[in-house]
Amino acid sequence: MTTYKSTPSGQGIFYLFVLPFAVLTAVFGVWPIILSIGVSFTASSTALKPNPTFVGMANYLAILADPVFLASLRGTLIYTALAVISTIGLSLVYALFLNSALISRGRALFKLAIFLPVVTPDIAGYVVWRWLYDQSFGALNEILRAVGLPAFGGLAFESTAMISILVAELWHHVGFYVVIFLANLALCDKGTAEAAEIDGANAWQKFWHVTLPELKPALMVNSVYALIQYLKTFTVVAVMTKGGPNDSTNFISYYAYQLFDQGRYGEATAMATILFAIVIILALGMMRVQERGAKT
Amino acid sequence: MASVELKQVFKSYDGKHNVIHGIDLEIQHGEFVVFVGPSGCGKSTLLRMVAGLESITGGEITIDGKRVNDVHPRHRDIAMVFQDYALYPHKTLYENMAFGLRLRKTPEDEIRKRVMEAAQLLRIDHMLERKPSALSGGQRQRVAIGRAIVRQPKVFLFDEPLSNLDAQLRNEMRGEIKKLHQRLGATIIYVTHDQVEAMTLADRIAVLSGGHKMQYGSPKAIYNTPAALFVAGFTGSPPMNLCDCEFADGQAIFGDTSVRLPDTLTRKLNGRSKVKFGIRPENISLTPQADSVAVTANVVITEPLGAETLVTFQVGNIELVARCPADFDTPPGAGHEIHLSRQHMHVFDAETGLALGRGDLTA
Amino acid sequence: MKHALWLKVAAYGFAIVISLICLYPYYWMLVSSFRDTQSILSHPLKLWPESISLDVLKEIATVGGTPLWVYVMNSVFITTASTFVGTLVTALGAYALVRRAESPFFKALRMGFLVTIMYPYMLLVIPVYIVMYKLGLLGTYSGIILFLALGPIQFFLFEQFFRSAPKSVIEAAVIDGASEFQVLFGIVLPLAMPVVATSAIITFLLNWSQWLPVLVVSRSPDTYTLPVALMTISGELGVNFQGVMALSVLTTIPVTLFFLIAQKRVIAGMTAGAVKG
C-alpha cells in the first residue's frame, strides 16, 4: 500500500498499533512453542527449574519406545483420516443438497439447524452425547430396542468407541463446513452450469466438470482446516472416554495431556512437538498438492 | 496557486526496474496540465508521487520552488480527487467536505462559509445532510471535487476523475471542471487515459508511454506536430493514418501508387529509404485543395456519423481513413480520386518512431 | 427445473430428519433438566417432562464447594473481557499488518501468528502454563483473559476487511491532512464497525465455550467458568442426570440465544475470507 519514505510520523505509529497483538502472539504463541520444544529436550523433573538438565533426544527415544504412544499415533492418524473424509464428504453432499432446486423454501432454517451445534459449547454437547450413548439408560439404545435393532456398543467397547466419538464430533463440526461450502456455492456462476447443460452435460458431468472445480476454494480451506482440527482432537475424548476403553481413543493430544498432568513434562512436550510437526507437514503438503492441482 | 516542477524523476518499486524514467516537467501557476497515456504508462504513479502517496526513487519534485520529496502528503498543501471518489462513507456530504478543514483547526464559521460556497458552485447544496451512499456517481464526484475546493490548496490533483461515469455524464462533468478551472484559476494536474478529455481540458498535455515522457506541449502542438509515432497514433479520433512506406526520388511509394512529398520533408529524410508516413483524416479531401496531391483510391468501407462520414480508402497497398461530407455515397468497391494535403504530411523515423517533420514546417 | 412432487417431498423429509438429528440432543438436554433423575433413567425417551421439577436448582446451587453464581459471573466476566480485549487488539494488529504488509518485521509477526494457530491448541496450554508460571499470572483473571483474547477466525475476518477496504479513502484522508492516528480513529474504525461487531460476537461465542485454557491457568474453582465446572464436576454429581443436564442447559442456553439473535452475522463472519480470499 501507500509508502511515505522517510516520513517517521507515518511509520512509527503502526508499531504502536501492532504492539499489543505482537505481545500476545509472542507471549502466548511463539514463546510457549519455543519453550515447549526446549522442554522436550530436558529431564521432566527439572523442566520447571531455573537450570533444567539437558537430556538430548532421550524423551523422544522414550516415547518412540512406548507402545502406548505408537498405538496412540496410529489411532490419531486413522481417526483423522476417517474424520476428514467423512466431514468433507457429508458436508459437501449436504451443502449441494441444500443448494439444489429440490429445496426451494426453508433453506435458512435447515442451515440454522445444522449450524447450531457449531456454536454449542462443545463440553455440554459431548456430555449429552455421552448419556445418549449410555448402555443402560441411553436414549440411543432405547430407540434401537424400540425398532427391534441390536444394541449399539457406544463408548463401552473398543470396537465402537472411535466411531461413537466421531459421530459426536461430526454433529458438532459438520455445520461449519456446510456453511463454507454453501458460501462458495453462492459465489458460483449459474451461467457456467447452464452453458454446460446446453452443451448436453448430464447431472454427473455437470457436477464433475463445472461445480467441483468451482468449489476448489472451499474444498481447500475445508480440508486443511479439518485436517488441523481432527489431528488435535481432545475435548471429545476428555469428556466422553478419557482415552478408553483400553486406550482405543487415547489420541496423542489426550495422551500428552495425561503425561503433563503426571508431571512428565519432557515426554509430554516431545509428543506435542511430534504432533506439531505432523500437523505442519500434512497441512503444507495438502496445500502444495492443491496448489499444483489448481495450476493444471 | 503554485508552480510545480519535476526534475529527472525516477520511480522503481524493486530497486532494479524503473517504471518512471527520468521525467522533467514544469507546471506554471494556474496552469491546467493533463498527463495522458494508455494504462500502465506511469501517469497515475507520477501523479501519486506529486501527491506524496508514492515515494520518489530518484530526482526531485518541487512545489513553489520548495523540495517536497520528503514532505508528508498532509504538509504538501495539495488536494486530490480520486477515480472511485474515495468519499468517507460514514460521514454526511457536509462532513466529508469539512473534514480536512476541521483537521486544520479552521474556525467553524469559516468552514461553514467555504463548504456552502463550494456546494453552491457544484449544485449539491440541497443534499449536504445526506450520506454518499444515497448519491449517484456524478453527484459523488461533485462532492469529491467540493472536498478538494474547500481546502483552497496550492495544487489540485485529479486521478481519472471521470472514468467511472457514463459517457453523457462524463461530457457534462468535463465542461464543469473546465469552468471550475477558469473560475478558480488554480494549478491543476489531471490524469486521464482519454485523449479527448486531455485535448479539451488542458493548457498543456504531457503524453506518457512506458514511463517515458513522449511530448509536453499545448493541445494544439500535440495534435498538429506530434513528436513521435506514439503521440500521433494516440491523439485524434480517428487517429492519424500511419503506414510504412518506401522512399525514393522524393516519392513515398505505396505499392503501385506513389506520392511526391514536399521538398521540406524530403530534405529531412537525410537519405533514409524506409519511413513511417502519416496524415490525419481531415487532411484528406475529395476535391483539390491548395498544394494537395491527387491519388486514385478505392472505397473499402463507409461509416456515416451523421455530421460527417468516415471513409476508408485503399491506396496502393495501404488503407487511409478520411473525413468526408455526410452526403458521401460512393459504394464500397468503387474508385474515387482523393487529395492529400502536402502541408499536413508527417514522416517519422521507422526505427525510433521520432518525428522527422511535417510538410509545412521548415524548421 | 421442475421436479416430481414425490422427489420434493422426499427431499424435504430428508432435510427435516437431518435437522431433527441435529436438534435432538438439545431437546433431550432441555427436557431432562426438568425431570428427576429416576424418571430419566427409567424412560429416557420421554418427549415431555412428567412434571416440572425445579429441585435441581437447589442441588446445583453449590457445585464442587463453590456457589453456582460464581461460575456464572466468571463466565460472563471472562468472556466479556476477553472479547473486548481480543477484538481491540486484533483489529489494531490486523490493521497495522495490512497497512505495512511489506515490512519484514510485520511479515515475520504474521508468520508467527499463523504458526501458532497450527500448533495443537490443547498442547499449547502446556507450555503456556509454564509461561504463566514465569509471569506470575497463574490463577489470575488477567492470565485467562489475555490467553483467550486472540483467535484465528477473528484475525482473518479483520484482515479480509482491511485488505478489501478501498485504499483511496485512506489516501484521501491522508491528503486531507489526517495523521495515521486520525485516519484510524476517524475513518477506518467507524467503517469497520460492522466487522468489529461480527468479530466481537464470534469471539464471545467461541470464548464462552473455552474450558481447557481456563482450567489450566486457574488454581482453584474461584476462577472456573461454567464449561469448566461442567467438565470437572459432572463426575462429582455422579448419576445425578438432572443436575448435569441443568448445568449443561445453563452453559448452552445463553450462547444459543445470543447466536440465534445474531445468526446471519455469525455465519457470514465465520465464512468470510474462507472462500473469497
pLDDT at A47: 74
CB-CB neighbors (< 8 A) of C263 in chain A? 112, 115
Q: Is B189 on the interface with C (CB under 8 A)?
A: no
CB pair distance less than 8 Å for B90 and C190? yes
pTM: 0.84
What pairing do the DSSP bridges indicate for beta strands B18-27 and B251-254? Answer: unpaired
Does residue B363 fall inside a structural domain? no
Smallest CA–CA distance from A232 into chain C, residue: C120
CB pair distance less than 8 Å for B74 and C182? no
| DSSP output for C73-120 | HHHHHHHHHHHHHHHHHHHHHHHHHHHTTT-HHHHHHHHHHHHHHHS-
Residues B214 and B237 in one domain: no
Nearest-CA distance C46 → chain A (Å): 9
Residues B217 and B159 in one domain: yes
The residue out of B183, B209, B227 marking a domain boundary is B227
Q: Could you tell me if residue B47 is left (phi over 0), alpha (psi between -120 and 50 degrees) or otherwise beta?
A: alpha
> Best residue in B10, B49, B54, B80 to probe A by mutation, most A CBs within 10 Å?
B54
pLDDT at A50: 76
pLDDT at C267: 86
How many angstroms separate the CA atoms of C133 and C150, rounded?
20
Residues B223 and B270 in one domain: no
pLDDT at A19: 93
pLDDT at C56: 72
CB pair distance less than 8 Å for B52 and A10? no
pLDDT at C275: 65
Q: What is the pLDDT along chain A (296 residues), one digit of tens a residue?
A: 344 443 444 568 899 999 999 999 999 889 888 988 888 898 888 877 778 888 888 889 988 999 999 999 999 999 999 999 999 999 999 999 898 888 888 888 999 999 999 988 988 899 889 888 887 777 888 888 888 877 787 788 888 889 999 999 999 999 999 999 998 888 877 777 778 778 877 878 888 888 888 888 888 889 888 988 898 889 899 888 888 788 888 898 899 888 888 888 888 889 989 988 988 888 888 878 777 765 54
Residues of chain C with pLDDT under 50: 1, 277
Nearest-CA distance C81 → chain A (Å): 15
Provide the number of CB pairs (under 8 Å) joining chain B to chain C.
57
With 0-12 / 13-18 / 19 or more C-beta atoms within 10 angstroms meaning exposed / middle / buried, residue A254 is buried
How many angstroms separate the CA atoms of C72 and C246, rounded?
13
Smallest CA–CA distance from B158 into chain C, residue: C172
Nearest-CA distance A19 → chain B (Å): 24
Measuring CA to CA, which residue among C188, C161, C164, C162 is closest to residue C174? C188
ipTM over 0.90: no
pLDDT at B362: 56
Smallest CA–CA distance from B52 into chain C, residue: C175
Residues B217 and B161 in one domain: yes
CB pair distance less than 8 Å for C149 and A176? no
Chains touching chain C, criterion 3+ CB pairs below 8 Å? A, B
Question: What is the arrangement of strands in the sheet containing B66-67, beginning at the earlier edge strand?
Answer: B18-27, B4-12, B58-63, B66-67
H/E element, B167: helix B167-184
Residues B106 and B218 in one domain: yes
pLDDT at C31: 84
CB-CB neighbors (< 8 A) of C166 in chain B? 84, 86
Quick one: angle between helices C189-209 and C68-99, nearest 10? 140
Residues B349 and B206 in one domain: no
Residues B193 and B240 in one domain: no
pLDDT at C238: 63
DSSP structural state of residue A49: S
pLDDT at B213: 93
- In one-letter notation, the amino acid at residue B262 is P
How many angstroms separate the CA atoms of B154 and A287, rounded?
52
Residues B192 and B327 in one domain: no
The CATH-assigned architecture of domain A59-295 is Orthogonal Bundle (1.10)
pLDDT at A257: 87
Question: Would you kindly state where each structural domain of chain A is located, as residue ranges?
Answer: 59-295
Residues B44 and B119 in one domain: yes
What is the separation, in whole angstroms, between the first and last Cα of chain C? 32
pLDDT at C277: 39
CATH of C55-271, one of 1.10.238.10, 1.10.3720.10, 2.60.120.10, 2.40.50.140: 1.10.3720.10
Nearest-CA distance C160 → chain B (Å): 19
Matching residue, cell 503444507: A284
Measuring CA to CA, which residue among B220, B218, B238, B242 is closest to residue B230? B242
User: How many separate helices (H) and strands (E) can be counted in chain B?
Assistant: 9, 21
CB pair distance less than 8 Å for A272 and C267? no
The residue out of B201, B227, B253 marking a domain boundary is B227
Does residue B331 fall inside a structural domain? yes
Q: Is C181 helix (H, G, I), strand (E, B) or coil?
A: helix
How many angstroms separate the CA atoms of C215 and C221, rounded?
9
> Best residue in A88, A128, A281 to probe C by mutation, most C CBs within 10 Å?
A128
Does residue B277 fall inside a structural domain? yes
Matching residue, cell 503521440: B231
Q: Is B196 helix (H, G, I), strand (E, B) or coil?
A: helix
How many angstroms separate the CA atoms of C223 and C62, rounded?
15
- Cis before B262? omega within 30: no
The residue out of B174, B204, B227 marking a domain boundary is B227
CB pair distance less than 8 Å for B88 and C173? yes
How many domains, in total, are found in chain B? 2
Residues of chain B with pLDDT under 50: none
pLDDT at B1: 67
Question: What is the arrangement of strands in the sheet containing B212-217, beginning at the earlier edge strand?
Answer: B78-81, B155-159, B187-192, B32-36, B204-209, B212-217
Contact B34, B191 (CB under 8 A): yes
pLDDT at C32: 82
CB pair distance less than 8 Å for A30 and C112? yes
Matching residue, cell 454446460: A196
pLDDT digits (tens, 9 = 90+) for B84-117: 989 999 999 999 999 999 999 999 999 999 999 9
Residues B39 and B66 in one domain: yes
pLDDT at A2: 43
CB-CB neighbors (< 8 A) of A4 in chain B? 52, 55, 72-73
Provide the number of CB pairs (under 8 Å) joining chain A to chain C.
286
pLDDT digits (tens, 9 = 90+) for A40-62: 898 888 877 778 888 888 889 98
pLDDT at C234: 65
The values of phi and psi at residue A215, to 5°, are -90, 5
Question: Would you kindly state where each structural domain of chain C is located, as residue ranges?
Answer: 1-53, 55-271
CB-CB neighbors (< 8 A) of A2 in chain B? 53-54
Q: Is B193 on the interface with C (CB under 8 A)?
A: no
pLDDT at A92: 93
Residues B196 and B344 in one domain: no
- Cis before C190? omega within 30: no
Domain of residue B263: give its range: 233-358
Measuring CA to CA, which residue among B204, B160, B159 is closest to residue B29? B204
Candidates B74, B87, B151; nearest CB to C174: B74
How far, CA to CA in Å, does B137 sit from each of B134, B170, B176?
10, 10, 15
CB-CB neighbors (< 8 A) of B78 in chain C? 175
- In one-letter notation, the amino acid at residue B263 is D
The CATH number of whichever domain residue B268 belongs to comes to 2.40.50.140
Residues B148 and B43 in one domain: yes
Does residue B133 fall inside a structural domain? yes
pLDDT at B194: 92
Residue A89: other Cβ atoms inside 10 A: 12
